[in-house]
Amino acid sequence: NLAALALAALPLLLRPLLFLLPAAEEIGAVLCVENMPHSIGRTSAEMLRLIGGCPEAMVCFDTNHLLLESHADFIGALGDRIATVHLSDYDGRDERHWLPGRGVIDWPDLCRRLRRTGYRGVYIFEVHHGEATCRDLVKAYGQVLRKK
């Protein structure tokens, strides 16, 4: 099981993070760790185990990577650490990288929760190549983010 192996190797995973943090600070960048559905970072608890001891490290929240935890719980636990958001939808069973609105995510609720944390960062649409045209992305932005 890859996730169990990753959790067991957590001390080894911290080394690159601790190495990269000063370099990021030196150039004025924010180091973000993305939640991943099939390895480390599947839940807010795993993310906290990874970055909890590194207050400078932030979270790249991928909305379609949460397979084991609700968006509400993830945002509730890590909201003040979220520095960027990857937007895409899914079926709740596996990551799909669909255009927001096509899957099961309750976008108004997710956006409200992010806003309540004080999040004012970037929203990046992360959909599969060929999944959407520029016009589709603009429409999804209007339907999903404008209603936040």
pTM above 0.85, yes or no: yes
pLDDT band at residue 111, thresholds of 50, 70 and 90? very high
SS (H, E, C) the chain: CHHHHHHHCHHHHHHHHHHHHHHHHHCCCCCEEECCCCCCCCCHHHHHHHHCCCCCCEEEEEHHHCCCCCHHHHHHHHHHHEEEEEECECCCCCCCCECCCCCCCCHHHHHHHHHHCCCCCEEEECCCCCCCCHHHHHHHHHHHHCCC
- Residue-wise pLDDT for 73-89, tens only, equals 999 999 999 999 999 99
